[in-house]
A and B are shown apart, each in its own frame.
Chain A
Amino acid sequence: MSTDKILFDRVRKVFPGRRGAGGAVTALDDLTLGVRPGEFLVVVGPSGCGKSTLLDLLGGLATPSDGQVLVDGRPVTGPGLDRGIVFQQYALLPWRTAAGNVAFGLEAKGLPRRERAERVAHHLELVGLTGFADRYPHELSGGMKQRVAIARSLAYDPDVLLMDEPFAALDAQTRDSLQDELVRIWQATGKTVVFITHGIDEAVYLGRRVAVMTSRPGRIKQVIDIELGDRQAEEDVRSTDAFRHHRHQIWTLLRDEVRAAQSAVREEARVG
């Protein structure tokens, strides 16, 4: 247990029902999941299974109704700069340039100005955006915005990087190239990454382990070790037998959950 960087310990999260819309919703129930230091863990699950809730709890933006979330053995009590979140919709400040956005977390950390400038330049370079420092978000493409967001989260040097479907809004080619970039950055920095997605291919491609969630209430159904051999050596790792095997494995696990989720939605529609 003590070897886990992050531990979800029998976590439950209940949202009180909206006024007039019936009872409370249990998003997560008795969820236990450990993340090892420096590992790239992908959480995959059907939509509405509470993946994002999981991340909110870890980020300290929400508190569990029961159980606890531990980082380095200490319970999470609130947000902190030891965990960086990358959101699907980038969440860049539109009135700040790329550099200004990357500097944002550093200001929160209270870094002196000169050191800030150095770190900003370094991290823009890390995500391949040198020369775009003075651009405003509306002047950048979706992929570039997400690079800025990643640079911003890395710049204040968190131990853990939490990513909430960060590439879901991007086109396929941009997504592929950003996935490669992310793996490279992960290897270069040695951060612990928790990556949330609903894409099976993305999960197999990025994850060294993949946690499959059940439909609502979310639990961990199974954690799968992804063994693809030497990924660098392979020309097209997505078309190898090992990749296909893992993809099918996860697809099978998810199929029942997706069905369950759909029938639950149908049930709700009939009742409501």
Chain B
Amino acid sequence: MVDVAARPAATRPAVSPVAAAPARSGRLLALGGRALHRSVALLALAAIWETVPRTGLVDRVFLPPLSEVLVAWWELLRSGQLAEHVGASLTRSLTGLALAVVTAIPLGLLIGWYRPLADLLSPLLEVFRNTAALALLPVFVLILGLGETSKIALVLYACSWPILLNTIAGVKGVDPLLVRSARSMGLDHLRLFQKVILPASVPTIFTGVRLAGAYSILVLVAAEMVGAKAGLGYLVNYAQYNFAIPDMYAGIITISAIGLVVNQLLVAGERRFSTWRVDVTTA
């Protein structure tokens, strides 16, 4: 015997084979229309970027038309320079992000779980959290030198906060009823943590990782503008120094593209980890 509600959603009417072909082309059209709708703003930006320098509204030396920038980008790609800079940047930001993940998540779990530790550390966390990462760049350079270490350390530092704070929030936000229920079954602390607290906080933790992913590129580019011999930040800064303006814009476009891709990947990952959360958000 079963309640009437929540039947499987298998009642969708089947499409007859005759109607299928026009329906499919219609759906393709709708898909194309939506894609157009979503890219129209970007296309407009590209068009403006192309025409405004050409009509002389702005000095084309400072803002070359998009086509020239793309040509410069293609040249950078062909010469292998772009790959080198992207490789250098990605290595740094991914290393920093990975280090932040492996240090901040366990630390956040500990702080979220042990209240005394949270009370002890929270004033310290507040101070550091509100200190802009880039303000500390000179300190990192002073102590760790100009090499890779200082840049990775800066990324690690910047990425740690969103992960740490989200992990703490995730652990603290676990539904107390679930904890009560698990405790009533006699679970000890370790198993309670492993079977309830950890899985319950995974979505929140992953939100932190996604934010950190964005930060990792943001702060790295800035760090690379100060004393680096490779990397996208270096490329942008160096190109500007040498008045290779199209190269500079090519570097900027690449940074945006990477940021976009990283974010999309992490959003997809986040969605995968939190499918069960629909319940929480709708109820």
Interface residues of A (CB under 8 A from B): 59-61, 78-81, 83-85, 87, 89, 91, 93-95, 104-105, 107-108, 128-129, 132, 135-141, 143-144, 156, 174, 177, 181
Task: Select which of A59, A60, A128, A141 is within 8 A of B1 by beta carbon.
Answer: A128
**Knowing A89-B177, A91-B177 touch, does A104 contact B5 (C-beta < 8 A)?**
no
Chain B residues within 8 Å of chain A by Cβ, number: 30
**Knowing A85-B184, A138-B276 touch, does A104 contact B195 (C-beta < 8 A)?**
yes
Residue of B nearest to A181 (CB): B1
Residue of A nearest to B196 (CB): A93
B279 within 8 A of A: yes
* Contact between A78 and B2, CB atoms less than 8 A apart: no
Task: Select which of A79, A132, A143, A177 is within 8 A of B184 by beta carbon.
Answer: A79
* Contact between B279 and A94, CB atoms less than 8 A apart: yes
A-B contact pairs, 10 of them (CB 8 A): A79-B186, A85-B181, A93-B178, A93-B199, A105-B185, A108-B185, A138-B283, A144-B2, A144-B6, A174-B3
Q: CA separation between A107 and B192, bound complex, in Å?
A: 12
**Knowing A79-B183, A85-B181, A93-B178 touch, does A140 contact B6 (C-beta < 8 A)?**
yes
Interface centre among B2, B191, B199, B283 (most CB of A within 10 A): B2
* Contact between B186 and A78, CB atoms less than 8 A apart: yes
B-side contacts of A107, CB under 8 Å: 195
B124 within 8 A of A: no
Task: Select which of A144, A156, A181 is within 8 A of B185 by beta carbon.
Answer: A156
B-side contacts of A177, CB under 8 Å: 1, 3
Task: Select which of B2, B177, B277 is within 8 A of A128 by beta carbon.
Answer: B2
B-side contacts of A91, CB under 8 Å: 175, 177-178, 180-181
B-side contacts of A128, CB under 8 Å: 1-2
Task: Select which of B2, B181, B200 is within 8 A of A95 by beta carbon.
Answer: B200
A-side contacts of B18, CB under 8 Å: none
* Contact between B181 and A108, CB atoms less than 8 A apart: no
* Contact between B276 and A61, CB atoms less than 8 A apart: no
**Knowing A61-B180, A129-B2, A140-B6 touch, does A94 contact B280 (C-beta < 8 A)?**
yes
Interface residues as binary, B1-22 with A (CB distance below 8 Å gives 1, 0 otherwise): 1110110000000000000000
A-side contacts of B276, CB under 8 Å: 94-95, 136-138
B278 within 8 A of A: yes
* Contact between A80 and B195, CB atoms less than 8 A apart: no
Q: Return A182 CB to nearest CB of chain B, in Å.
A: 12
Q: Return B226 CB to nearest CB of chain A, in Å.
A: 44
**Knowing A129-B2, A143-B3 touch, does A61 contact B196 (C-beta < 8 A)?**
no
Residue of A nearest to B175 (CB): A91
Q: Return B251 CB to nearest CB of chain A, in Å.
A: 42
Interface of chain B, main secondary structure? helix
B-side contacts of A156, CB under 8 Å: 185
Q: CA separation between A60 and B178, bound complex, in Å?
A: 16
A-side contacts of B282, CB under 8 Å: 138
Residue of A nearest to B187 (CB): A108
* Contact between B185 and A104, CB atoms less than 8 A apart: yes
A-side contacts of B195, CB under 8 Å: 104, 107
Interface centre among A129, A138, A143 (most CB of B within 10 A): A138
Q: CA separation between A150 and B6, bound complex, in Å?
A: 19
Q: Return A174 CB to nearest CB of chain B, in Å.
A: 6
Q: CA separation between A78 and B279, bound complex, in Å?
A: 31
Residue of B nearest to A93 (CB): B178
* Contact between B185 and A141, CB atoms less than 8 A apart: no
Task: Select which of B6, B175, B177, B183 is within 8 A of A139 by beta carbon.
Answer: B6
Q: CA separation between A87 and B175, bound complex, in Å?
A: 13
Q: CA separation between A138 and B185, bound complex, in Å?
A: 23
**Knowing A108-B191, A129-B2 touch, does A94 contact B184 (C-beta < 8 A)?**
no
Q: CA separation between A81 and B182, bound complex, in Å?
A: 11
Interface centre among A83, A104, A108 (most CB of B within 10 A): A108
Task: Select which of A61, A89, A138 is within 8 A of B278 by beta carbon.
Answer: A138
Interface residues as binary, B29-71 with A (CB distance below 8 Å gives 1, 0 otherwise): 0000000000000000000000000000000000000000000
Knowing that A59-B184, A137-B279 touch, tell me 10 more A-B residue pairs with CB under 8 angstroms.
A80-B186, A84-B185, A89-B177, A94-B277, A94-B280, A136-B275, A136-B276, A138-B283, A141-B5, A177-B3
**Knowing A87-B177, A95-B276, A104-B195 touch, does A79 contact B185 (C-beta < 8 A)?**
yes
Residue of B nearest to A141 (CB): B5
Q: CA separation between A78 and B183, bound complex, in Å?
A: 9
* 8 nearest A-B pairs in the assembled complex, by CB-CB distance: A138-B279, A141-B5, A91-B181, A143-B3, A128-B1, A141-B6, A95-B276, A85-B184
Interface residues as binary, B265-283 with A (CB distance below 8 Å gives 1, 0 otherwise): 0000000000111111011
* Contact between B186 and A108, CB atoms less than 8 A apart: yes
